[in-house]
Chain A
Amino acid sequence: MLLAAPRFALPETLGEAITALADRPDATVVAGGTEVMPDLLWRTRRAEGFVSLRRVRELRGVTTTDDELVVAAGTPVAALIHVEHRALAAAATSLGTPLVRTEATIGGNVMSALPYRNLLPALLAADAALELTGPGGTRTVPFDGFVTAPGVTAIGPGELLTALRLPRHRGFADYAKVGRRNAQFVATASVAAVAAAGRVRLAFGNAGPTPVRSDAVDAVATALLDGTATPEELRAAVDAAVDPPTDPVASAEYRRHALGVLAVRLVVRAQVDAGLGS
């Protein structure tokens, strides 16, 4: 342990981190601090203490196996920009600024669990799984269903998100978002797409209280890729699948429209990538 105080712990190993959290059950887990610090500044969050994962080396880095891309949860977003999975890379590239991406982590983005967080649709479209480690050991759960409400996840008490496992994917994958301006914006609405073996898997951000995907949408998106469905049909399928919020940034109607437009845009990019489009 690099530092230990009643309201602060700076572990160096995963074991120390789990013990530190068990000893400080009311503490907020922070990695880079890029979400927690503004929340404290605006007083939208209270913290009774910090357990920081920033100095746990085994929680940083990207490795590959024959069939999986394994991203340790404390890997900074900056390290994802050139990662093999293009949807994750595109979502990372448009997150924050270079000065934020060096400290913001993939695990922090997931545990934040807010509907507009960049990496969530990319992970859902990629069919990612999450590794959760607690005092009782490690379990692996699908990312689909992990976020249960805005800002709320199915993580258990005393558990930490330790790694994200994505099926390896070298083909077309992309992410697109719209916001209120063209610089440093959070997503008013966002879509990620992964195309593999002629099938398209889409996932939507800020399209409901939790990240959204649907087999019905994917069937129409795949048909559009093949030229057997129209863009209008995909927009209608998206409209039926999403339940976006109305808030001071945008109306639900605007988001429905934008989500359909972004979905068509990504499938057209997949067509071009496959040599099918104009």
Chain B
Amino acid sequence: MADVEFELTVDGTTSAVEAGFSESLLTVLRDRLGVRGPKVGCAHGRCGACAVSVTVPGEDAHVLCACLVPAAIVAGCAVSTIASINGPDGELSDVQEAFLAEGAVQCGICTAGFVTAATELLDTNPDPTREEIEGALYGNLCRCTGYGRIVAAVEAAAAGRREATS
């Protein structure tokens, strides 16, 4: 049932999309474009497993829940998923390496969302306090780790960035 046709640029690749008027960005990414980095968790904006970064023309890029956004309202916009968070040769980013090193991953369904939110935090605030980290990750739920290792991973990534620039 295609009500609308538009273009989306996802991780640098522009695709034509046909979708229902109320189809979410998450559904379009996963089911129409085969982009499986963003995960379906709660599907109503509580868990953050579907977090992606969207750049609307004229606005700064910001992270949002792809499940809450009707895809057609970001027609013509650029979407960055977890697949865009890596080094130039495809190696893991510093945040991803820190998640591995600190044991911040168990089942993994929340990880793409946490890394996306944590990367946005460190890109805008390279020296966050623990409270700022917890605040930035408040919209991401993890049912495995108890969050301690995740916060430690973000602190380690932040420390790594400070060392690299000092």
Contact = CB atoms under 8 A, between A and B. Distances in A.
Given A10-B75, A98-B139, A99-B48, A38 B4 contact: no
Interface string B116-146: 0100000000000000000110111000000
B147 to A, nearest CB: 11
Contacts of A52: 70, 72-73
Interface stretch (B57-65, B79-87, B88-96, B152-160): B57-65
B3 A38 contact: no
A97 B22 contact: no
A49 B68 contact: no
Interface stretch (A28-36, A129-137, A157-165, A253-261): A28-36
Contacts of A33: 68-70, 73
Contacts of A78: 62
B22 A98 contact: no
A41 interface: yes
Interface in B22-64: 22, 24, 43-46, 48, 51, 56, 58, 62-64
Contacts of A3: 4, 6, 72, 75
Q: How large is the interface on B (under 10, 10 to 19, 20 to 34, 35 or more residues)?
A: 20 to 34
Given A5-B21, A30-B73, A57-B58, A97 B68 contact: no
A66 to B, nearest CB: 29
Contacts of A54: 56, 73-74
A38 B67 CA distance: 9
Q: How large is the interface on A (under 10, 10 to 19, 20 to 34, 35 or more residues)?
A: 20 to 34
A102 B24 contact: no
Interface of A: 2-3, 5-8, 10, 30, 32-34, 36-38, 40-42, 47, 49-50, 52, 54-55, 57, 78, 96-100, 102-103, 183-184
A55 B69 CA distance: 13
Given A3-B75, A41-B43, A96-B45, A103 B4 contact: no
A5 B3 CA distance: 7
B138 A6 contact: no
Nearest to B1: A7
Given A33-B70, A52-B72, A7 B21 contact: yes
B22 A99 contact: no
Contacts of A50: 21-22, 70, 72-73
A37 B43 CA distance: 9
A33 B43 CA distance: 13
Instruction: With a 10 A CB-CB cut-off, give which of B6, B43, B72, B136 has the most chain A CB atoms.
Output: B72
6 contacts: A5-B4, A5-B21, A7-B4, A30-B70, A33-B73, A34-B65
Given A6-B3, A8-B4, A37 B75 contact: no
A197 B90 CA distance: 61
Instruction: With a 10 A CB-CB cut-off, give which of B6, B43, B136, B138 has the most chain A CB atoms.
Output: B138
A32 B59 CA distance: 14
A97 B45 contact: yes
Contacts of B139: 96-100, 184
Contact of B51 (A8, A55, A99): A99
